[in-house]
Structure 1
Amino acid sequence: MASILVTGGAGYIGSHTVRHLLEQGHEVVVLDNLQTGHRGAVLTPHFYEGDIADAALIAEIVRKHSITAAVHFAALSLVGESMKFPTKYLEANTVKSQQFVQALVENGVRRIVFSSTAAVYGVPEVVPIPEDSPKHPINPYGLSKLFIEQYLQMMETLHGLKWIALRYFNAAGASEDGRIGEAHDPETHLIPLVLQAALGQRESLSIFGNDYDTPDGTCIRDYIHVRDLADAHALALQALADGKPSGSYNVGTGKGYSVLEIIEAARRITGREIPTVQAPRREGDPDELVAQVDKIRQDLGFTARHSDLETLISSAWNWHANHPHGYR
């Protein structure tokens, strides 16, 4: 089994991936600055609180733990905040990631799985979105991730780095046993916001726009269970270990649910009212974002097995109902 460094392993998707890799028998080392992550979500004893741009720390971790591959989650990820503070996002996500990758290469690590995003596409020309769609990010968050995908390509040319970038759509859900789940501050994701309203932590849920070109007028998104995302990272690591070529992959289900479908399912599962209020559209929200998933299925053997609407919401509800204040 391999010794793997996971940056951002105290975060939502990172912590679930760490758990999955541990279950596979790998040694997993987490590096996280705990700016948005939670120490209580880290299930490995090998934890370092620090910065991904700290080259000396990276060298120490690689040497001490004989690291052979990395999974790189650490990033800022609020689209709205990136619009207000673009330089902050390019510094944290792009510049520091470049420094991190450089430190890996200098210390002999030649395999990396990168946490990218569907935001690299911007407003898609075709739905479901294939990986070769034009990349026109409409926010600095998406741009910061696209730059790193391009940098990884360059590092492969220059230094033989092998990489896979996974472009997520909408992560959701929690672990089956309810031990780890989704806890952001501020919370911006739809399903946690819906469940906070169900718990009475919010007076109501805002529905941003009801005039989209969709069957019920609300946005449609491709939701994937965080457990399936963790599996995708493990498969990507194995593909690199097996010598498969570098590349970028969508990670989704190929099916979308509307905002109203999510709310109705949550009402049924929780047995709560979940009051809603109508709000204006948000700038830059496309009608529909759904992944084309043929490539990852064919190349990596990935299939989303836990991403039906019932599992997504019931697992998240189990977490939120038992952890109403997150990890605090």
Structure 2
Amino acid sequence: MTWLITGGAGYIGAHVVRALRAAGEGAVVYDDLSTGIAERLPDDVPLVVGSTLDGRRLREVLTRHTVAGVVHLAAKKQVGESIDRPLLYYRENVEGLRVLLEAVTEARVPHFVFSSSAAVYGMPGTELVTEETPCAPMSPYGETKLAGEWLVRATGRATGLSTACLRYFNVAGAARPELADVGVSNLIPMVFEKLTENAPPRIFGDDYPTPDGTCVRDYIHVVDLADAHVAAARALTASPGRDLTLNVGRGEGVSVREMIDHINAVTGYARPPLTTPRRPGDPARVVASADRIAAELGWKARHDVQDMITSAWEGWVRLHPEAARV
């Protein structure tokens, strides 16, 4: 069957496309290329350039390619930017999703996988976050992802659309260097950027209620995340009418300071970090319980932090060869 992957030319999306293809599924990519890169895609995967706000174009693509399922990744995703520009985030992430779901139901597409985020939880007061942990997002970005889940589930109940909402945690790594994250909004590339500039990596606040005072996160390799999307897609096709909400993480917390130490070890740099004030919207600790996704999909993360940093560094050096000259 053919899956439409919105945002499929992005960092995560390109990995999902390749994982679906490796699993024998057909793929069509729909991307506005605002952050996506067309060269990330295999030559035989069609790319349609368009916005999720364009319902007519979406309906044409769904019909022309006989799409049987959608994996929706297209979204704005920077927490800080969402605080400064909430209207942009609600338009792109919520209205764009509404328009897409309208096109999906009109075209009678039966399956829908929504890429949500751990940001829906906000600052949970538990050691491990389960899918039943109350959601209290701390940023407009997190709010739009939670509202997106509500919209997806409501559409499923009303129309019979099979749905899966995947709440993924901190994504890192790459399947191959040319697919690496080229942005610098996530911790690992942010540290790489500072090292390349011969500057100290930054820690945003070291006074959190955690063992070393820095934020603790659950990091997931992008290859494992892509495999989780494939597992969810197959679960929906095998059992129509399902409604899944699943964490995608490793269940292991790593602090910002620990991650910087790991990065220094992999890259050969040895620069101590510089502590700066906290950023708004950053919770102290968010670590997943991955029990439900293991039970529902038989999925478990296979890659560790070392794999994530090593593969991400190979991609960074490909784009910034001067970084390898320690």
**What's the TM-score bracket when you normalise by the shorter of the two chains?**
over 0.9
Q: Secondary structure at the match of 2:67?
A: coil
Partner of 1:117: 117
Distance 2:50 2:62 in 1: 14
Question: Displacement of 1:283 after TM fit?
Answer: 2.9
Aligned AA (1:116): S
Matches within 5 A, 1:255-274: 255-274=252-271
- Greater CA drift, 44-53 or 222-231: 44-53
Question: Displacement of 1:85 after TM fit?
Answer: 1.1
TM-score w.r.t. structure 1 length?
0.94
User: Residue 196 of structure 1: which of 189, 193, 197 is its match?
Assistant: 193
Aligned AA (2:121): Y
Alpha carbons 1:297, 1:303 under 8 Å: kept: yes
Q: Secondary structure at the match of 1:40?
A: helix
Q: Secondary structure at the match of 1:212?
A: coil
Question: Displacement of 1:202 after TM fit?
Answer: 5.7
Aligned AA (1:119): A
- Cα deviations across residues 133-187 of structure 1 (Å, max 9, x unaligned)? 1111111111111111111121122211110000011000011x32311012xx2
Partner of 2:290: 293
Query: Is 1:81 aligned to residue 81 of structure 2?
Result: yes
Q: Secondary structure at the match of 1:68?
A: strand
User: Residue 253 of structure 1: which of 242, 250, 253 is its match?
Assistant: 250
Matches within 5 A, 1:213-292: 213-243=209-239, 245-292=242-289
Partner of 2:4: 5
Q: Any stretches of 5+ residues in structure 1 without a counterpart? A: none
Aligned AA (1:283): P
- Cα deviations across residues 57-81 of structure 1 (Å, max 9, x unaligned)? 2222122211100000000001111
Alpha carbons 1:114, 1:165 under 8 Å: kept: yes
Partner of 1:133: 133
Q: Any stretches of 5+ residues in structure 2 without a counterpart? A: 322-326
Distance 2:41 2:5 in 1: 11
Question: Displacement of 1:250 after TM fit?
Answer: 0.6
Question: Displacement of 1:275 after TM fit?
Answer: 4.7
Of all paired residues, the percent bearing the same amino acid is 40
Aligned AA (2:200): S
Q: Secondary structure at the match of 1:174?
A: coil
Aligned AA (2:185): T
Q: CA RMSD in A?
A: 1.4
Alpha carbons 2:75, 2:93 under 8 Å: kept: yes
Distance 1:238 1:197 in 2: 41
Runs (4 or more) in structure 1 with deviation over 6 Å come to none
Aligned length: 319
TM-score w.r.t. structure 2 length?
0.94
Partner of 1:153: 153
- Cα deviations across residues 253-308 of structure 1 (Å, max 9, x unaligned)? 000111111111111111123352111122332221100111001001110001x1
Question: Displacement of 1:51 after TM fit?
Answer: 1.0
Q: Secondary structure at the match of 1:31?
A: strand
